[in-house]
Amino acid sequence: MKNYVFVLMSSVLAMSVVLAGCGGGGDVTSVNSGSHAEHKESDPQVLRANLHSEPPTADPGLAEDSTSGAVIFATFDGLTRLNEEGEAVASVAEKIEVSDDLKTYTFHLRDSQWSNGDPVTAHDFEYAWKRVLHPELGAKYAYQLYYLKNGEKYHKQQGGVTADDVGVKALDDKTLLVELENPTPYFLELTAFYSYMPVNKNVVEANPQWANDAATHIGNGPFKMESWEHKSKMVLVKNDKYWDKDAVNLDRIEFAMIEDENTELSMFMNGELDWAGKPLGLLPLDAVPALKDEGKLKVKEIAGVYWYKFNTEQEPFNNAKIRKAFTYAINRQEIVDNVTQAGEVPALGALPGSMAVNPGGLFRDNDVETAKKLLAEGMQELGISELPPITLSYNTADNHQKIAQAIQDQWKKAFGIDVHLENKEWKVYIDDLHQGNYQVGRMGWLGDFNDPINFLEAFKDKDGGNNDTRWEHPRFKELLEQSQTETDAEKRKQLLAEAEQILMDEMPVAPIYFYTHSWVQNEKLKGVIIDGLGFIDLKWASFEQ
């Protein structure tokens, strides 16, 4: 084995916020509202922020959204953790050995504890990974563990494969052996993702609802859950059992759960919050230009896409030409210039710039002429003379509503149709998408790691965990599978480029723009990490004295 020792970066990690400017060039000036209380050395370090909605779960095996992710990254720790450059550094794993063929990993664990004092062992990781893959759990991110040898076969119950055949095994309490199906250069980034985080086997098996209440929630991260008043408030406190507790400066994190963006910003300006906006909450779109002009807005471009999903099993979106027609008729530049206004980039493909394999895009923005032609052809193929009622769904938020209203108007002008808008609370909304109870629905996809496969593989299988479109294509699937074994980087890029071309030819999703995160923060707050994928990590956060 070739030994790659990944150096722990905790107290030596730079304690500064990543503030890459977008649109205006350079870093954005810190907020100075003048209303935030001074933090004295003797004062507790308390961060107050808003979660725009109730986290659907605090279980890393079930999480699938950024709200749950923010809580989980604070309360759990993986074998690795991402630093401010988005690089995987050793965390619960003290040393990592990688074989020359990049298919076998040996993780040597440090001494660490769960928040209840139990030791964190390699058995906890083995149990957690196999739990995510067990079909009865219903984990939407189970496919993220298909990189493990026999992971996919076990999850799909194929070929008589059992949990014992999956390529993860605790050799002893401190040693975890992992075997992969294929070389996976980004595997150590994956082990920092919440689906790969451990859970306490005894706790989980004793109470299946363990993650739904603060009294029973057990983690191994920088913070532990003190209280959770559902749909109202969550409080996290410093975890005195955390292995790297000396690097943790905050004593408490107090999350409000307020869905109104104007209230969130007002609370920030009144000194009741230390952070407002992405990736925890949202800023009102109407306030963005003024915040930008005043130098208060912080903006960071991230690897994420905002798109509309089509239910390809419901007429008329069971026709690819009609899906393309609705996609082509969207004026993305108008939306980012006049609605979102935070430096977003119009999306003319599925992949953001950091991982683009088809530079320049795969279709034209606001191509109404082609859209009308495709709509007529699609309707003829379906044998219909007029479109059925169209409903566009989104979860409750000011920005989603305004984007939907803009696109509703664009489709009205292009096709002369009236589109019904429907908004729902997040948990209801995401359940309806997964159940196929929608026609067109908005969704964002933030990269879990910086590789095209992460965006494309969600559409590999019709019944895949996050493929709410019900779309599947044999050649698309074949290309993704070939890319997983192709060792030549340029050939792999070509395979993924062809796969993205198929996705955009079939158009189960309508890309709208590539994300930026925009927010305002207390000028005294330092050390918050937002990496290039948009994840927020509060482990190193602190208030300067």
What tens digit of pLDDT does each residue of 88-137 get?
A: 999 999 999 999 888 999 999 999 999 999 999 999 999 999 999 999 99
Quick one: average pLDDT of 345-355? 93
Higher pLDDT, 329 or 11: 329
Residue 58: which pLDDT band, with cuts at 50, 70 and 90?
A: very high
pLDDT of residue 33: 39
* Poorest-pLDDT segment among 301-305, 330-334, 511-515, 519-523: 301-305
Quick one: average pLDDT of 145-174? 97
Q: Residue 58 — left, alpha, or beta (φ > 0 → left; ψ -120 to 50 → alpha)?
A: alpha
pLDDT of 363 > 80? The answer is: yes
Residue 484: which pLDDT band, with cuts at 50, 70 and 90?
A: confident
Quick one: average pLDDT of 369-373? 98
Helix (H) or strand (E) holding 190: helix 187-190
- Give the Cα separation of 447 and 201 in Å (integer): 29
For residue 11, give both structure tokens. Answer: 């107290």
pLDDT of residue 5: 34
pLDDT of residue 195: 96
pLDDT of residue 43: 78
- Are 194 and 60 spatial neighbours (Cβ–Cβ below 8 Å)? yes
- Give the Cα separation of 78 and 125 in Å (integer): 9
- Are 187 and 180 spatial neighbours (Cβ–Cβ below 8 Å)? yes
Mean pLDDT of the chain, nearest integer: 90
In this structure, the number of other CB atoms found within 10 A of the CB of residue 100 comes to 8
Residue 22: which pLDDT band, with cuts at 50, 70 and 90?
A: very low
**pLDDT (tens digit per residue) in 255-306:** 999 999 999 999 999 999 999 999 999 999 899 999 999 999 999 888 999 9
pLDDT of residue 87: 86
Most confident range, picked from 339-343, 401-405, 531-535:
401-405
Higher pLDDT, 484 or 20: 484
Percent of the chain with pLDDT over 70: 92
Half-sphere exposure of 34 (CA within 13 A, CB side): 0
Nearest to 421 by CA among 387, 386, 395: 395
pLDDT of residue 26: 29
- State the DSSP string of 350-414: SS-GGG-SSTT-SS-TT-HHHHHHHHHHHHHHHT-SSPPPEEEEEES-HHHHHHHHHHHHHHHHH
In this structure, the number of other CB atoms found within 10 A of the CB of residue 472 comes to 17
Percent of the chain with pLDDT over 90: 81
pLDDT of residue 42: 61
The domain made up of 2-254+522-543 has a fold known as: Dipeptide-binding Protein; domain 1 (3.90.76)
pLDDT of residue 485: 84
pLDDT of residue 12: 26
Residue 417: which pLDDT band, with cuts at 50, 70 and 90?
A: very high
pLDDT of residue 422: 97
**pLDDT (tens digit per residue) in 198-237:** 999 999 999 999 999 999 999 999 999 999 999 999 999 9
Domains of the chain by residue range: 2-254+522-543, 300-515
> Which amino acid is present at 37?
A
Q: What is the CA radius of gyration of the chain?
A: 23
Place of tokens 């008729």: 329
pLDDT of residue 21: 26
* CATH level 2 (architecture), domain 300-515: Roll (3.10)
- Are 365 and 333 spatial neighbours (Cβ–Cβ below 8 Å)? yes
Quick one: average pLDDT of 163-167? 98
- State the DSSP string of 280-340: TS---GGGHHHHHHTT--EEEEEEEEEEEEE-TTSTTTTSHHHHHHHHHT--HHHHIIIII
Q: Residue 60 — left, alpha, or beta (φ > 0 → left; ψ -120 to 50 → alpha)?
A: alpha
pLDDT of residue 534: 84
Residue 460: which pLDDT band, with cuts at 50, 70 and 90?
A: very high
* Poorest-pLDDT segment among 236-245, 380-389, 468-477, 487-496: 487-496
- Are 196 and 145 spatial neighbours (Cβ–Cβ below 8 Å)? yes
pLDDT of 38 > 70? The answer is: no
pLDDT of 27 > 60? The answer is: no
Place of tokens 């004593």: 251
This prediction has a pTM of 0.75
Cis? peptide before 352, omega within 30° of 0: no
pLDDT of 381 > 80? The answer is: yes
Quick one: average pLDDT of 145-170? 97
* Four-CA torsion 180, 181, 182, 187, nearest 10 degrees: -40
